[in-house]
């Protein structure tokens, strides 16, 4: 197996086949906690929801919360909180399962950037720390957000003529998305690590000054694409900024995305002159990523399923 590949399968198994200490950076956008419950979750389900709202003037579409999960509503009784807590514990354990082999395949000093919701990102960070990574920072991607869905205190006025809760709400408008920053431990210090592995520092200075841990000016409202059915496509400009932040220039550096989706991170790495390795569970998303990358030179050499006994040599 070579670099610039997209591999179909479960990253928990495939990461264990990657050669140790071969990856320069990992940028991951895994399913968030509320997507994790054992419900059907694939491209077919997303298309079904999109078809339901055709002709609907409200254009209401919830693409990232599985039906029947109980997390989008329901009575907040003891069973609801118990189910919610069990889901969080299971999610943290699942993160730990892929973080362990991820730790092995990264170079010493390599960074890991993981997207997650503001509600559950702490559990992701803890899972990766359990696997051996060192927590470094938390990036905030400031993006557009509409009015939150939740319980509005104004309903008390309508239901019970109680005006005292006017202006109160069950949640705030969520204007940022979390990206936890972790690092595989150095080899004694930065100079020694840089000399031996070629990674370990962030590209924090550019023509605009010193980089902040708040990312602004990149909208999450990009052009729609009917051919890309993935439900959580990140902006290409955002992924390019992250690739440049933690990966030195050069094709010898491989950017790994173990939840490649429709391939935005891989495309960003390629356009910036880095190599990439993508892993994706859903066949259809692998095909979308392949098509997106086929329009550029040095397209992905293969989209395949890896055998657990094979080592991916770069």
Residue 51 — pLDDT band, cuts 50, 70, 90? low
Residue 310 falls inside a structural domain: no
pLDDT above 70 covers a percentage of the chain that reads 76
Please count the structural domains in the chain.
1
Beta bridge partner(s), residue 182 = 112, 135
Q: What is the pLDDT of residue 219?
A: 80
CATH of the domain at 198: 3.40.50.150
Indicate whether 250 pLDDT > 80. Answer: yes
Residue 314 falls inside a structural domain: no
CA distance 129 to 99: 9
More confident residue, 63 or 80: 80
Indicate whether 14 pLDDT > 70. Answer: yes
Q: What is the pLDDT of residue 135?
A: 98
Residue 39 — pLDDT band, cuts 50, 70, 90? very low
Q: What is the pLDDT of residue 7?
A: 94
CA distance 251 to 106: 16
Torsions phi, psi for 201 (to 5 deg): -120, 160
Residue 292 falls inside a structural domain: yes
Q: What is the pLDDT of residue 312?
A: 52
Residue 235 falls inside a structural domain: yes
More confident residue, 228 or 244: 244
Indicate whether 291 pLDDT > 80. Answer: yes
Closest CA to 197 of 272, 256, 247, 270: 247
Beta bridge partner(s), residue 115 = 179
At residue 35's C-alpha, the angle toward residues 70 and 174, to 5°, is 85
Where does the chain have alpha helices with state H?
11-14, 43-52, 78-105, 121-130, 154-160, 190-197, 236-246, 264-271, 283-294
Closest CA to 184 of 26, 4, 6, 8: 26
Residue 309 falls inside a structural domain: no
More confident residue, 84 or 38: 84
Beta bridge partner(s), residue 205 = 210
Average pLDDT, the chain: 83
Indicate whether 247 pLDDT > 50. Answer: yes
CA distance 99 to 130: 9
Find the domain containing 208 and state its range. Answer: 5-304
Q: What is the pLDDT of residue 173?
A: 86
Residue 98 falls inside a structural domain: yes
Residue 68 — pLDDT band, cuts 50, 70, 90? very low
Judge contact between 291 and 303, C-beta under 8 A.
no
Indicate whether 117 pLDDT > 60. Answer: yes
Torsions phi, psi for 49 (to 5 deg): -70, -40
Mean pLDDT to the nearest integer, 35-52: 54
CA distance 274 to 251: 4
Mean pLDDT to the nearest integer, 103-110: 98
Closest CA to 215 of 139, 278, 272: 139
Residue 278 falls inside a structural domain: yes
Closest CA to 289 of 264, 266, 271, 263: 263
The pTM of the full predicted model, rounded to 2 decimals, is 0.84
Mean pLDDT to the nearest integer, 190-205: 97
Q: What is the pLDDT of residue 227?
A: 57
CA distance 135 to 127: 11
Place of tokens 């920072």: 137
Q: What is the pLDDT of residue 304?
A: 53
Indicate whether 41 pLDDT > 50. Answer: no
Indicate whether 191 pLDDT > 80. Answer: yes
Q: What is the pLDDT of residue 230?
A: 54
More confident residue, 277 or 63: 277
Contacts of 85 (CB under 8 A, 6+ apart): none
Q: What is the pLDDT of residue 43?
A: 56
Mean pLDDT to the nearest integer, 43-57: 57
Judge contact between 137 and 181, C-beta under 8 A.
yes
Residue 136 falls inside a structural domain: yes
Residue 297 — pLDDT band, cuts 50, 70, 90? low
């Amino acid at each position: 197996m070579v670099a610039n590949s997209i591999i179909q399968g479960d990253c928990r198994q495939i990461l264990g086949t990657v050669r140790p200490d071969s990856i320069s950076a990992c940028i991951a956008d895994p399913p968030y906690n509320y997507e994790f419950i054992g419900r059907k979750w694939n491209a077919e389900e997303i298309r079904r929801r999109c078809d339901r709202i055709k002709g609907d003037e409200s254009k209401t579409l919830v693409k990232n919360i599985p039906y029947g999960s109980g997390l989008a509503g329901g009575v907040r009784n003891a069973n609801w909180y118990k189910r919610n807590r069990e889901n969080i514990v299971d999610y943290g354990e699942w993160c730990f399962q892929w973080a362990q082999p991820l730790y092995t395949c990264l170079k010493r000093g390599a960074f890991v950037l993981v997207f997650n919701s503001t509600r559950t990102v702490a559990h992701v960070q803890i899972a990766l720390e359990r696997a051996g990574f060192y927590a470094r920072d938390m990036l905030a991607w400031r993006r557009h957000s509409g009015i939150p869905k939740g319980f509005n205190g104004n309903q008390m006025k309508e239901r019970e003529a109680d005006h005292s809760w006017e202006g109160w709400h069950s949640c705030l408008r969520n204007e940022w998305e979390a990206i936890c920053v972790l690092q595989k431990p150095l080899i004694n210090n930065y100079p020694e690590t840089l000399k031996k592995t070629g990674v370990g520092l962030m590209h924090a200075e550019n023509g605009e000054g010193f980089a902040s841990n708040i990312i602004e000016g990149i909208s999450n409202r990009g052009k729609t694409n009917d051919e890309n059915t993935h439900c959580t496509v990140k902006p290409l400009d955002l992924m390019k900024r992250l690739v440049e932040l933690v990966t030195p220039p050069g094709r010898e550096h491989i950017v790994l995305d173990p939840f490649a989706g429709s391939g935005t991170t891989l495309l960003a790495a390629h356009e910036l002159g880095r190599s990439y390795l993508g892993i994706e569970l859903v066949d259809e998303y692998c095909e979308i990523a392949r098509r997106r990358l086929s329009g550029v030179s040095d397209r992905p050499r293969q989209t395949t399923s890896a055998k657990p006994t094979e080592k991916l040599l770069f």
